[in-house]
């Protein structure tokens, strides 16, 4: 799982907002990391923005996993849809 963490801090001298983006790649099954991230998010110190797949990424994944169908012509396509 990829998790993007956005943090906001104030520069003490100029009182400007400084934004930093941190991308974490971690094993979701690791309970220690999940607990640590939960505590950090509960403190409200960070905003979490989960990445979302685009339509093209989903289509490429469908082709790789074999979730595509072929038809000889329109009659064959309609026959397969009605099955």
| pLDDT in single tens digits along all 83 residues of the chain | 445 454 444 455 555 556 667 777 788 888 898 888 888 888 877 776 767 788 999 999 999 999 988 889 999 999 988 98
Residue 46: Cβ-neighbour burial (10 angstroms; 0-12, 13-18, 19+): middle
Q: State pTM to two decimals.
A: 0.37
- pLDDT of 16: 59
Tokens found for residue 9: 């801090």
Tokens found for residue 51: 């990445």
Tokens found for residue 1: 């799982």
Alpha carbon dihedral 34, 39, 41, 45, in 10-degree steps, equals -140
Residue-level length of the chain:
83
């Amino acid at each position: 799982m990829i998790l993007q963490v956005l943090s906001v801090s104030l520069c003490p001298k100029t009182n400007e907002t400084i934004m930093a983006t941190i991308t974490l790649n971690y094993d979701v099954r690791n309970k220690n990391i999940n607990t640590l991230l939960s505590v950090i998010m509960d403190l409200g110190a960070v905003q979490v923005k989960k990445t979302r797949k685009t339509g093209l990424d989903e289509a490429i994944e469908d082709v790789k996993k074999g979730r595509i169908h072929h038809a000889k012509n329109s009659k064959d396509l309609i026959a397969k849809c009605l099955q």
